[in-house]
Structures are given as structure tokens and as C-alpha cells.
Amino acid sequence: MNTKFDFATETDEQIVYVRPIAVADLPKEIQLQAEGIKTLYAVHSEDGERLALVRDRGLAFVLARQNDLAPVSVH
């Protein structure tokens, strides 16, 4: 009953965070490229650096995994 568990796992994957961003909150240059899209999804490193902006959440996760990153959703 008092068994201790080690939930830490050794992995070579770096965690990245995926979150929605309102296009209206982005610089005008990016807003013009969004062509009517209201929300994009950002992939951020652990230290908060924006690594990518993509059209949908699924694509953000695929992009992260293809680059050996472990995506986590942030609201």
C-alpha cells in the first residue's frame, strides 16, 4: 500500500507546448498571411520560445513528433 513509484521516465524527447493563438493577437505581417483564419496553433519550447505557427492542433502535434519532440497541450 505504501509502494513508492518513480513516475519520471528517461526519454530523449524534449517537451514542447502547443497552444491556440488568436490571429488578431499576432503581428500584422502574420495576420495578412493567415488569410481569414481566426486561430493558429503555436509550438513553444520549454523556455517559451515560439518554434512554429501552424493551421491546426493536429498538425502542431505531428510537426512536433516528426522532430522528436514530445508535444503537450496548453490552454
pLDDT tens per residue across span 12-35? 679 999 999 999 999 999 999 998
Q: Pick the more confident residue, 32 or 11.
A: 32
First to last CA, the chain: 35
Q: Is the pTM of this model over 0.85?
A: no
pLDDT at 23: 97
How far apart CA 73 and CA 29 sit, in angstroms, is 26
Beta strands in 5-73 (DSSP E): 14-22, 39-44, 50-54, 69-73
Cβ–Cβ < 8 Å for 14, 70: yes
pLDDT at 75: 77
Q: Nearest 5°: phi and psi at 19?
A: -145, 150
